[in-house]
Amino acid sequence: MRSDSNFLERIRSLATSARLPAQARQAAAADRRGLGSVDPGSRRTIEEGLGWLARAQDCSASQDGGVARNYSLVSGWAPSYPETTGYIIPTLLAYGKDADRPDLVERARRMLDWLVAIQLKDGGFQGGTIGSEPVVPVAFNTGQILMGLAAGQQTFGTYLEPLRRAADWLVAVQDEDGCWRKGASPFAGPGDKTYDTHVAWGLIEAARVLPQAGYGDAALRHIRWALTHQKANGWFGGCCLSIPKSPLTHTLGYALRGVIEGYLFSGDADLLAAARRSADGLLTAMDDDGRIPGRLDDRWQAATSWVCVTGSSQIAICWLQLFQITGEERYLTAAKRVNRWVRRTITVEGPDEIRGGVKGSFPVDGGYGTFEFLNWACKFTIDANILELALANKESKVGLGRAHLEDPRS
């Protein structure tokens, strides 16, 4: 990022700091002094993160069984967020079953029952948090909730009909070339979105439940469309909520994960090659200590001074998956560095509202999830550390659907 942009960013931060609650000012000041030196380790991070997600469910401002979007150092707990509650469910079910934590399984069931209760008549799910307007079906959010419905059906056997309705709606609104132009989110900027490969992953999970329904074909059609917007260096065009020229690592992580999941489902070597192009580009953006700038340009260079912590954890997961597929140690080394960097941003002692939570940005007053601890940042950080442990201890009981991570060629 250019020095003048850094200067303007700092001025904006100083201009607002006097109006912030003491908790927010103190957190920002602490982060500005630098990254903490203490690494709590993967196991502590997982357990504290799961505890934070449980409190986010219990403390949601809408009190409905969903997970609060975030805890804000400025405004407190937010209402429940259907989209991310959807993909938190598989994490709770996988860990709950493997670690003999029936409390987590029951929490996931409550989330599922809430999502079924708010499913729209056409089968889709709304964008935004509960209480947001307009309430319209959104392809991206529906795809994320499909992941939860698929995991719920596989665990409990009682969510097939809502799963089928959601997946059928996604197929019905998909354009012939594979893109989802209908069902666009009113909370994102206009234009085609290549990070909708993460929607395709939702359809892939539905296809694992209903293999003959055509959901897998629809998913792969979108992923192959998205790859027509990938440059030779792995860069994805149209891959941001609001600033396509300098997308968040969060949305880049979405796009990459969807391509990897497409490969794991299909065994198509072209998808693996495409995933590696993007993963290798992201490797060049990481500092030696595991820090990845929160926005990147099309040369994989920094476009901001802060880190999108969510995106860092998502990218670490992708590198860990690619290590498992290819055996290349550089992916494992990079992922472990990023995981360690993220863990050093996390407080594992202190108030319930922040203990185990994961900030949207580091520093906390950065440009993504500003002054917020985000439920999806926590979910992805848990997943990244579970997968790191699973790879370190192949017989560990803290797996994360390892069968889905096997190379389909083997």
Return d(Cα 293, Cα 302) in angstroms, integer: 6
Q: What is the CB neighbour count within 10 angstroms for residue 165?
A: 19
Is residue 194 a contact partner of residue 239, using CB atoms and an 8 Å limit?
A: yes
Q: What is the DSSP letter of 372?
A: E
Interatomic CA distance for residues 200 and 217, integer angstroms? 10
Integer Cα distance of 121 and 134 in angstroms? 15
Find all residues with CB under 8 Å of 148, minimum gap 6, and list them. 85, 86, 87, 88, 89, 90, 108, 111, 112, 115
Contact between 272 and 323 under an 8 Å Cβ cutoff? The reply is no
Query: What is the torsional sign of CA 323, 329, 331, 334?
Result: positive
The helix/strand count (H/E) of the chain reads as 14, 5
d(CA 223, CA 218): 9
Measuring CA to CA, how many Å separate 223 from each of 175, 179, 199, 205?
Answer: 13, 9, 10, 14
pTM for the full predicted model: 0.93
Using CA atoms, how far apart are residues 346 and 219, in angstroms rounded to an integer? 35
User: 225: which 2 tokens?
Assistant: 């469309």
pLDDT in tens, the chain (410 residues): 333 444 445 545 544 566 899 999 999 999 999 998 899 999 999 999 999 999 999 999 999 999 999 999 999 999 999 999 999 999 999 999 999 999 999 999 999 999 999 999 999 999 999 999 999 999 999 999 999 999 999 999 999 999 999 999 999 999 999 999 999 999 988 899 999 999 999 999 999 999 999 999 999 999 999 999 999 999 999 999 889 899 999 999 999 999 999 999 999 999 999 999 999 999 999 999 999 999 999 999 999 999 999 999 999 999 999 999 999 999 999 999 999 999 999 999 999 999 999 999 999 999 999 999 999 999 999 999 999 999 998 744 433 433 333 333 22
Write phi, then psi, for 307 (nearest 5 degrees).
Answer: -110, 135
Enumerate domains of the chain plus CATH numbers: 57-177 (no CATH), 229-410 (1.50.10.20)
The three-class DSSP label of residue 380 is helix
